[in-house]
Structure 1
């Protein structure tokens, strides 16, 4: 299967009922756009913060560490057409230099958490997007807090918040996505005789599309939710897969996602959707890697009337956020109230609250 889009704004539409392909397609318009597929996007990539973020290190200890912030703003309607036509900054666009300065100034507190950084960024995006009392130029924002030193087997930790706004700047929908990308596993897998003689690298990537409620779904700020670090997820992946000997990636993927649900997700994240991608970079000499990918729903567990997103909605969000990063942090409303149900080997750390 071809690699999905890797830019957070590469497929910003996730509110329709169609199921997108993970292959590269023309970018559809965001909600609130005009009748054409024209779209303007402003982004700031890997903004360095003046102070670190307190988060679990690779040993599970809460510790200040560097953080990189990436912002993507999908503009409404005609986008920055007026600014482009006049070759000057005006109310149709957002000054990305000023945006960066204001966020760095707000995120300069010792002991700040990933949740604090996301909340500051979303607040400033909202303030700068509101041009008048009835004009709000951002249709959707994607805020990613990346912690490059917080993952043992992957490339880092990423906390992603996606917020969709109406014309007056009220939150229409919010998506919280937990990503673990390209965790390197050494496994015995393959149908060829030579593949049965030794282990080879398999890169495992997981996206969790988390169930939201309260403000995130009902038009509130969408940024005041509790945060949970499932810091043992990579170790759980190793435990699940290390003694397997499947011939096909298909069987390995199906087994792994079922075990993840049994050991972790059914208890900790009921009602979420999980996407698992497995790649074999050494399998084909003249290709980066063959891969298989599965989407599965996690049972809601009778969660007292909480809203559950559909799997197609999760897959639409997948097109927005898949990119070359790894992460083991998620934010979701009311997860602080979860109790019990942890399987042996699961370690839950909550340093961000």
Structure 2
């Protein structure tokens, strides 16, 4: 069975209300992968990893016996398994560039790091495709027969020049299908977190003469790109906002989605933005616009691109 590429919202909606969940939030590590805020690959940088595992059944035996069983997972061992996956990646020999120096296009991408973590936990990459996976399919940490839903977010807090970081989130729905039990749907989304950019935007006369900070949070769903392009995407968003003369946040948000979609098509060698739809969520905040509120917020979601090729459940 070929798992269906879906949005984060769709995967969670189909998974339904969780019966029992174990989470680890913001596990800290150093990762030799992705690109830094300047677009340089293969540089060591801090990372935060958050994991969420939703189980098929409520915590029954473990509650009555006060002992761990297969219906749950030890959060300490879960954290250890995630960190071991990152250690394995960091200890791999560095790739050699064309000038025989470390750091090249062969350096692990953000998606590679997420796949390594996923493989350590489940034995498979995020999309469940073992045939195209070059990692080690060792005995997984989790027994998927007890898992309904899993989500992992990898965040590079220092990979943005003007924002709070960049994150890549993978989510998977597990369940029975003809011939077995495994991944039914999966989602991947890239997020540029809270870019703070001086912007000329507003309908009031005072707003037409001076720039004010606008905070932009951008999320791209169905993001199956293999390349690390988030620094280039940030440049596009910042340039658009810096040269803005829009009166409304709505118009500015629409322009940002156009720029993001164009940049993804130009930078990606894969199908995202071409044969696969690319939902883009843009959230814009103006912290100084309303004195008696934290900020007014406008959020919009636009889908660009071709038709998603779906498998069969």
TM range (shorter): 0.7 to 0.9
**Relative to 1, partners in 2 of residues 1:285 and 1:306: Cα closer, same or farther, differing over 3 Å?**
closer
Q: Give SS of 1:101's match.
A: helix
Residue 85 in structure 1 maps to residue 64 in structure 2: yes
1:256 aligns with 2:256: yes
Give structure 1 regions of 4+ aligned residues with deviation exceeding 6 angstroms: none
Q: Secondary structure at the match of 1:175?
A: strand
Is the Cα–Cα contact under 8 Å of residues 207 and 276 in structure 1 kept in the other structure?
A: yes
Residue 116 of structure 1 and its aligned partner are, at CA, apart by 4.0
CA distance, structure 2, for counterparts of residue 273 and residue 294 of structure 1: 10
Could you tell me whether the CA contact under 8 Å between 2:32 and 2:44 is conserved in 1?
yes
Give the structure 2 partner of residue 279 of structure 1.
Answer: 285
Q: Deviations over 1:226-248 (max 9, x none)?
A: 34333211111122222222222
Conserved in 1, the CA contact under 8 Å of 2:11 and 2:172?
no
Encode CA deviations 1:184-216: one digit per residue, 9 max, x unaligned.
11111112222223110101111111265xxxx
5+ residue gaps, structure 2: 1-7, 95-106, 123-139
Counterpart Cα distance in 2 of 1:175 and 1:278:
24
The verdict on how the C-alpha distance between 1:115 and 1:38 changes in structure 2, with shifts beyond 3 A counting, is: closer
Q: CA RMSD in A?
A: 2.7
Residue 214 (structure 2) aligns with:
202
Instruction: Find 1:57's aligned residue among 17, 22, 36.
Output: 36
2:52 corresponds in structure 1 to: 72
TM-score, length of structure 2 as denominator length:
0.74
TM-score, length-scaled by structure 1:
0.66
Answering whether residue 11 of structure 2 is matched by residue 40 of structure 1, we say: no
Taking the aligned partners of 2:119 and 2:232, their CA distance within structure 1 comes to: 31
Report which structure shows greater RCO (CA 8 Å, sep ≥6).
1
Match of 2:15 in 1: 30
Rounded Cα–Cα distance in structure 2 between residues aligned with 1:149 and 1:199:
26
CA 1:231–1:13 in structure 2 vs 1: closer, same or farther (change >3 Å)? closer
CA distance in 1, matches of 2:19, 2:150: 14
Q: Which residue of 1 aligns with 2:226?
A: 226
Identify the match of residue 159 of structure 2 among 150, 157, 166. Answer: 150
Aligned residues: 260
Alignment partner, residue 102 of structure 1: 81
2:171 is aligned, of 162, 167, 172, to 162
Which whole-Å deviations, capped at 9, do the CAs of 1:165-192 have from their partners, x for residues lacking one?
1146511111110111211111111122
**Unmatched 5+ stretches in structure 1:** 1-11, 17-27, 32-36, 213-224, 310-353
Residue 133 of structure 2: aligned partner: none
- Residues 306 and 254 from structure 1, CA distance in 2 versus in 1: closer, same or farther, beyond 3 angstroms? closer
Change over 3 Å in CA distance of 1:152–1:281 after alignment to 2: same
